[in-house]
Structure 1
Amino acid sequence: MGTVSAVCSDGGHGFSKPVRDRILLLEGLGVEGDAHLGVTVQHRSRVAQDPTQPNLRQVHLIHQELFEEVAAAGFTVGPGQLGENVTTRGIDLLGLPRGARLRLGPEAVVEITGLRNPCLQIEGFRRGLLKEVVGRAEDGSAVRKAGVMGVVLAGGEVRPGDAVQVELPDGPHLPLERV
């Protein structure tokens, strides 16, 4: 079991999100008041491609341990600064299979849909940071470390200090891919 370290939201399409005392997850929509709230995709580049595609990126989660990892490379990054809604501690988010469910606090449930695809905005935030959040595997493939995306299956309030419980899907576990 892990914990929620921080929660963040922003109604605008800026890069970083301010830390909040609480956020409210809305079933099938995302984070109340957040720019990415909606049944259909809200990410601007994806809206330009096809505004009717489903929103598989309603909630962005990052593990607090990533901030410690990039700090070792000289980068200071805090909750919300990479645009996430929920910062967790003690959960291997990147190791979860597609379809894993996270219980956040007493009511909310988020189903993991895939990996965040880090973009050049990270480089604009801190020069050189993109290289730290996108590594390379031995075979040369990209290793995306900037968190996971999910959809809200059950709504509820989420606050720092809330428990995070992982429920793995039945059957074969499919690895996360970028969404």
Structure 2
Amino acid sequence: MEVLDRAEISVDAGIAGDHRGRRKPGSTGKRQVTLMERGDWEAATAAIGRTIPWQERRANLLVDGFDLPQVPGTRLRIGAEVVLEITYECDPCVRMDALVPGLREAMLPDWRGGACTRVVAGGTIAVGDTIRIET
């Protein structure tokens, strides 16, 4: 995992450099970009009594100061250009327990594992960009 200050996002490829976000032919791209709230990560790691860098979760974006909607179909605008549509809850995988036993279960309540999204509009995002719900 690589922590970046800015990234390019596109409808076809998700986040530049992350092959998992690439839309395959015939796919709807339901998991192009994953987002997780800083507070949720901190709550999960506090529940198991450990401090773990957020990137170990392997989410694409860490969101701070914004409560991610838990409603599929909700569209989020990040910065001036990027629009992501929430598709479903990002369930934590067994890899979380490989990091620390109990972490996966600590991430299960209230979408703590984050949200999966599809890219509706691409562009550049950067640390500090405003996130808002599109109406």
Q: What TM-score does the superposition give when structure 1 sets the normalisation length?
A: 0.68
Question: Is 1:19 aligned to residue 22 of structure 2?
Answer: no
Gaps of 5+ in 2: none
For residue 121 of structure 2, what is the aligned residue in structure 1? 154
Question: Is 1:59 aligned to residue 43 of structure 2?
Answer: no
Gaps of 5+ in 1: 1-16, 41-50, 136-142, 169-179
**Conserved in 2, the CA contact under 8 Å of 1:28 and 1:153?**
no
Describe the SS at the equivalent of 1:131.
Answer: helix
Once the two structures are superposed, what CA deviation does each residue of 1:119-165 show, in whole Å capped at 9, x if it has no partner?
10111122221110014xxxxxxx54200000111111111111101
Query: What is the Cα deviation at residue 52 of structure 1?
Result: 5.7
Larger radius of gyration: 1
Question: Is 1:70 aligned to residue 37 of structure 2?
Answer: no
**Conserved in 2, the CA contact under 8 Å of 1:133 and 1:145?**
yes
Question: Is 1:91 aligned to residue 66 of structure 2?
Answer: yes
Describe the SS at the equivalent of 1:81.
Answer: helix
- In 1, Cα distance between equivalents of 2:107 and 2:36: 11
RMSD: 1.9
Query: What is the Cα deviation at residue 90 of structure 1?
Result: 2.2
- In 2, Cα distance between equivalents of 1:107 and 1:53: 23
Distance 1:146 1:112, change over 3 A: same
- In 2, Cα distance between equivalents of 1:125 and 1:166: 33
Percent identical among aligned pairs is 31
Q: Report the AA paired with residue 97 of structure 1.
A: V
- In 2, Cα distance between equivalents of 1:102 and 1:54: 17
- In 1, Cα distance between equivalents of 2:84 and 2:53: 22
Size of the alignment, in residue pairs? 134
**Conserved in 1, the CA contact under 8 Å of 2:45 and 2:103?**
no
Once the two structures are superposed, what CA deviation does each residue of 1:62-111 show, in whole Å capped at 9, x if it has no partner?
00101221243212133322011111112222x43111111111111111
Q: 2:89 aligns with which of 86, 110, 115?
A: 115
Q: What TM-score does the superposition give when structure 2 sets the normalisation length?
A: 0.88
